Amino acid sequence: MRFAYDAGRAMACAPRPSMIHVRSILALLGFAMLVGACSTTTSSWDPRRWFSKDESPPPAPREVPGAEARLRGIGSAATGMVRVRETADYLLVQVELGGVSPGVTYRVVFHDTANCSSPNAFSAGAPWAAPGARSSATQLIPLMNASTEGRGELVARLRGVRMGDGGMVNRSVVIYEGTAIEPLKPSVPNNVVACGVFVKATSLF
């Protein structure tokens, strides 16, 4: 029996080289995507994280430098607190004063030395003008008036003024009765009513 060779039928039944090539490429791509999905450590592949909020902690707030001085009376019953904090463009000064003569004007002055041990505040050194001050050290902070109850409060924003190197912990603050400021001399009576040494503030204000 003789068999006739049908060339056209043979070519139709044989797989086409182009189809084999396409199927191979698709198979390789599918395998690569499967391996990548299983091996990646990126959290974006986890569907549970697609709609979740960012879990990264917020940045810690920058510590604002600050100092505070507790006032003690110098020949008076004055008490109170002076707080100083440096901000972006000004120095914030907050004064709370009590136990002083009612209806009297008082002046707050920074001094060069952190020492209030002497009886008339001479140990506080000379008046100190903070860097950036546009006025003298004795007129840097506005005047403060005491109420009829003998209490005074003051909040001053000194634009462009800084604490300087080392901050205020190396300084003191002196409260004068009246508007006149006379040089402090050893054992010589003066118009100082309170003095305080700056330490690092324990809280923001």
Convert the pLDDT of each residue in 90-144 to its tens digit: 999 999 999 999 999 999 999 999 999 999 999 999 999 888 998 999 999 999 9
Report whether 78 contacts 97 (CB < 8 A): yes
- Mean pLDDT computed over 176-192: 94
Q: Compute the distance between CA of residue 8 and CA of residue 10 in angstroms, rounded to an integer.
A: 5
Neighbour count for residue 102 (Cβ, 10 Å): 12
Residue 40, beta-bridge partner list: none
Give the pair of three-digit tokens for residue 151.
Answer: 């209490």
What does the pLDDT read at residue 176?
98
Q: Compute the distance between CA of residue 159 and CA of residue 142 in angstroms, rounded to an integer.
A: 13
Please, which pLDDT band fits residue 61 given cuts at 50, 70 and 90? very low
| DSSP at 47 | G
**Residue 50 clears pLDDT 80, i.e. is over it:** no
Q: Where do runs of H (alpha helix) occur along 15-124? A: 17-39
Please, which pLDDT band fits residue 40 given cuts at 50, 70 and 90? very low
**Short-list 193, 172, 194, 196, CA closest to 70:** 196
Give the pair of three-digit tokens for residue 77.
Answer: 């019953």
Q: Tell me which of 162 and 154 has the higher pLDDT.
A: 154
The rounded Cα 171 to chain-centroid distance in angstroms is: 21
